[in-house]
Structure 1
Amino acid sequence: MQKISLLAASALLTIAPTMAMPPPLPPVEGKDAATLQAEMASGTLYDSLLTTLYLDRISKIDDHGPELNAVIATFLSVEREAKLLYGERHAGKLRGPLHGIPILLKDNIEAKGALPTTAGSLALKDNVTGRDAPLVARLRDAGAVILGKTNLSEWANIRSNNSTSGWSAIGGLTKNPHALDRNTCGSSAGSAAAVAASLAPLAIGTETDGSITCPAGVNGIVGFKPTVGLVSRTHIVPISHSQDTAGPMTLTVRDAALVMTVIAGSDPTDLATAEADARKVDYTAALSPDALKGKRIGVLRDRIGDRADIAALFDAALKQMTALGATVVEIADSRKGLEELGAAEFEVLMTELKADMATYLAGLPSKDGPKTLADLIAFNKANPAELQWFDQSLFELAESKGGLDSPAYVTARDKAARLAGPEGIDRLMKEHNVDLLVGVTNGPAWTSDLVNGDHYTGPSASQLPAVAGYPHLTVPMGTVQGLPIGVSFIGGKWTDAEVLAAGYAYEQASRKRVSPTYRVGVAP
């Protein structure tokens, strides 16, 4: 990993000889992109120095000190890119609200440069493709600085049911900055931990089912899973074309909306995004403290778990929403008629994993390396470091599945989509006459245990919107013994702007995000 010291920071100021020496730089800890942009606009902070500050913070907190293991590596070119962006700013050319803002990418997303895209696996340790995923190209065009790659649950947590979230053979185990012995959830573990620890103000994660929202909730930040088809998946290591999407992980809802405004859009190589250009909007335009006024909110009461402390946080959040003008509608039977959803989703994921992984691997520029799921299975068997903590039983199950034309898959695909969408979220919203659904995103982070794997037992709001492909936003709701809990906002297809606006209104009134303590163990 590149390690940059602030000892060289003053030298960077020589690129602006006509400007006066600025006052001492403010810290970046806890600052969102909108705040940093305002400081750069005022001249109290410079694009090039901002990037150096984050590189130094990664060295001090991620590589040393608490050693979070959230960032796998940074690009060697980032300071040069930041200088160029500063030059544009000084010349009066701003590309947009992300101009000069560093952002981290989950390491299943391709980006030009010397860093490989590994999905956390040694099988892809040399996967330097020399190409930007379309969402990364959009970020660059908007002036964002692609800082580096974040650790993840290997293969986005689809290799084994016995895995430990946040661990990969490439990056090791990512720690939760709120309690270092606690898990980060996954699979976008490094992206969430990095933003929570202010290793960058922004990160991109990916989700198939809960992989943005759970780590965001557990690490106490904002995470947004958009409507599937709003953001291109091209050049992203896949699991399921039915459910995969990328999305922002940020400190604030406004920052999530800023990122979505940049990355949303159609991509001719991803057919799912055909409607994206027609559907995308400026997602910051609808943000208002009054966005919940007059809204009817359906409460997923039967999905919050049985912990009294979490229920108390949730009830306080609902009270806050009521005070903002929302009408709360209790839904006691949100699971009714959906008993077969889990099995149908699992069949879809296993079948699509085999097919979609083969398509991705076969399309890599290098002729070397694995080209099928069977190749990955063989690689893992030949490399003990891959299987040292957990098996590859899900890979092996997926390999046994038929193709995308198999009757079992087609039946499961149609059933899963119907149960989660028309007979799930759509039905609940129509029957209860509500504008959106709310629930508890996550339980408190569990202790990481590489020997025994994950033991997450808390509530989860991810499955319905994940399978339906509908938007899902998590916002900090408070803490239990110092461990963050999120509240989820879920809407219908293409209602991304409305979901973000609702979460923004709650966030502005509640202000429940807390800074990480980097302690070991929970708060007394």
Structure 2
Amino acid sequence: MKNRLLAKNSFRFEEATIADIQAAFNDGRLTSFKLVEYYLDQIRTLNPHLNAVIEVNPDALDDAAKADIQRNAQNHLSPLHGIPVLVKDNINTHDKLNTTSGSFALLGSIVPRDAGVIQRLRMAGAIILGKASMSEWDNFRSLGPPQGWSPRGGQGRNPYSMTTNPCGTSSGSAIAVAANLVTVSLASDLVGSITCPAVVNSVVGIKPTVGLASRSGMVPISPRLQTIGPMGRTVADAVALLDVIVGFDPLDSEATNAAKKFIPEGGFHEFLKKDGLKGKRIGILRHPYFDIYPVGSMEAITFAEHFLTMRFKGAILVDNLKMRNAEIMENITANSEVVLLLAEFKLSLNAYLKDLVFSPVRSLADVIAFNKNHSIEEKMEEYGQIIFLASEKTDGIGVAENIALKLMTQFAQEGLEDLMKQNNLDAVLFPNHYASTSMALGAFPIISVPAGYNSNGEPFGISFAGLRGSDAILIEIAYAFEHATHVRNPPQMQV
């Protein structure tokens, strides 16, 4: 079927960007219907091997046909109009799709409304293709499950190497984009949940400043730190999705109101500049993150070449930097984050569950009981639910939690904030997702971009991070880096 579609449309679907697709829409080589048809065929063929998609939207083709009718030369449509988007399974869609966070406990539940970001996608004319798999409950149930596993979705697999960890928790969103099962996807992040799967699956992931995109209608862990962000095969595609989902939402008013000042009037796409590295002061978090690569390794050699390229493009790299208390910041027990997360999870999950129109469970206690009663499906004997049990014992935000918050704020300030101010930096960089736990303490934004492939052909990436509200600067840097290096190669799957 794929070959017939290619021949009929004279359009190269694989690795097609949003700009490619919109150009093909405009000159009649492609329709949204044919694009969705292609992706559905890809999902039927590849998803049994990848487990990237939990379910597809039964209305996707009808929605695509409507988008084709709306399209004409006189309409000034969003760049996302007619573009298929896969949505992580913890983001509400008020349609025929389930929203379950990968758990059977929420199967059949009915959400009261679309998540804030989904409302914006529908207004832009995007096609909700389906729900992406993920680590169940954002890997917050227990310490045992492998990353990318959920009872509903099974074990997600990296398309570059089926034995390589696809990383979590937004694994399906990254796998699907990498394997060309969709154009772009929505993911969510708490501590590396966008950054890690993006780099190990060789795609671009943007973890925005918390509050840029609304979190209303998302199965929560910590509303204080969680964010929703885009994944794409290029920085431009990820930014196109970002531009659509950002903005004020009365259902997430405090965070989105505080962050709206960071949204450029003309949109983030204005910062897609090929000379975006010129004059930027970027700190290399050499220690302890780059220290893991042996001298002469493929990673060490590749990163050294990238640093030369960045300097050639006008960047000022400040090397051999280390954040104060870096090792403590990377440990969620030592940095006190776990104390606060346990309390926040129970409070926010209970509120989410009570807001559902219908649900088999209405509280964390109900979910714990469900898991006990469905121990085979939920693999309780193998993985248990120790984090759930610890969270259920909490009793709101008290003295211990406030002390933890104070410590986390102090670590963030003495770590990244002081380092950037002392060195007059625009951003910092680190390999893969390795500093994402430290960055989470201050809810700092991160953009991750493909950086290379090791001797086994497995992807690795580079991540750029900065202070709250520095998203536009990070986009300039990431886009310029991408265009200077042209690293990404699609996976060569043997099916």
TM-score (norm: length of structure 1):
0.88
Deviations 1:100-136 (A, max 9, x none): 1100000000112111100000100112325210101
Aligned to 1:279: 262
Read off the aligned partner of 1:250 and give its amino acid letter: G
> After superposition, where does 1:483-498 map in structure 2 within 5 Å?
483-498=458-473
Structure 2 contact 89–134 (Cα < 8 Å) conserved: yes
Structure 2 contact 326–438 (Cα < 8 Å) conserved: no
Deviations 1:272-303 (A, max 9, x none): 11133332121110111111101111000012
Structure 1 contact 95–141 (Cα < 8 Å) conserved: no
Aligned to 1:134: 116
SS of equivalent residue, structure 2 residue 268: coil
Aligned to 1:306: 292
Read off the aligned partner of 1:307 and give its amino acid letter: Y
Instruction: State the 1:337 CA deviation.
Output: 7.0
Aligned to 1:154: 136
- Which protein is richer in helix relative to its size? 2
Instruction: State the 1:388 CA deviation.
Output: 4.8
> After superposition, where does 1:234-313 map in structure 2 within 5 Å?
234-270=216-252, 271-281=254-264, 282-302=267-287, 303-308=289-294, 309=297, 310-313=299-302
Aligned to 1:457: none
Structure 2 contact 115–218 (Cα < 8 Å) conserved: yes
Give distance in 2, aligned partners of 1:7 and 1:28. Answer: 11
Give distance in 2, aligned partners of 1:334 and 1:195. Answer: 33
Deviations 1:330-354 (A, max 9, x none): 1443243773673311112111111
- What runs of 5+ residues in structure 2 fail to find an aligned partner? none
Of 155, 180, 199, the residue aligned with 1:217 is 199
Give distance in 2, aligned partners of 1:417 and 1:283. Answer: 28
Aligned to 2:18: 33
Instruction: State the 1:473 CA deviation.
Output: 0.5
Give distance in 2, aligned partners of 1:330 and 1:395. Answer: 41
- Residues 321 and 240 from structure 1, CA distance in 2 versus in 1: closer, same or farther, beyond 3 angstroms? same
Count residues in correspondence: 482
- Residues 337 and 278 from structure 1, CA distance in 2 versus in 1: closer, same or farther, beyond 3 angstroms? closer
Give yes or no for the alignment of 1:398 onto 2:391. Answer: yes
Aligned to 1:511: 486
Instruction: State the 1:92 CA deviation.
Output: 3.1
Give yes or no for the alignment of 1:428 onto 2:428. Answer: no
Of 418, 437, 452, the residue aligned with 1:478 is 452
Of 111, 117, 124, the residue aligned with 2:99 is 117
SS of equivalent residue, structure 2 residue 100: coil
- CA RMSD of the aligned region, Å? 1.9
> After superposition, where does 1:3-402 map in structure 2 within 5 Å?
24-63=9-48, 67-90=49-72, 92-129=74-111, 131-270=113-252, 271-281=254-264, 282-302=267-287, 303-308=289-294, 309=297, 310-336=299-325, 339=328, 342-343=332-333, 344-366=336-358, 368-384=359-375, 385-386=377-378, 387-402=380-395
- Residues 23 and 163 from structure 1, CA distance in 2 versus in 1: closer, same or farther, beyond 3 angstroms? closer
- What runs of 5+ residues in structure 1 fail to find an aligned partner? 11-21, 443-459
SS of equivalent residue, structure 2 residue 365: helix
Give distance in 1, aligned partners of 2:431 and 2:4. Answer: 45
Read off the aligned partner of 2:323 and give its amino acid letter: S
Seq. identity, %? 38
Instruction: State the 1:27 CA deviation.
Output: 3.2
Give distance in 2, aligned partners of 1:316 and 1:224. Answer: 24
Give distance in 2, aligned partners of 1:362 and 1:243. Answer: 21
Structure 1 contact 286–501 (Cα < 8 Å) conserved: yes
Give distance in 1, aligned partners of 2:198 and 2:327. Answer: 26
- Residues 110 and 155 from structure 1, CA distance in 2 versus in 1: closer, same or farther, beyond 3 angstroms? same
- Residues 388 and 516 from structure 1, CA distance in 2 versus in 1: closer, same or farther, beyond 3 angstroms? farther
* Higher deviation after alignment, 40-49 or 136-145: 40-49
Give distance in 2, aligned partners of 1:337 and 1:501. Answer: 27
Aligned to 1:438: 429
Structure 1 contact 187–211 (Cα < 8 Å) conserved: yes
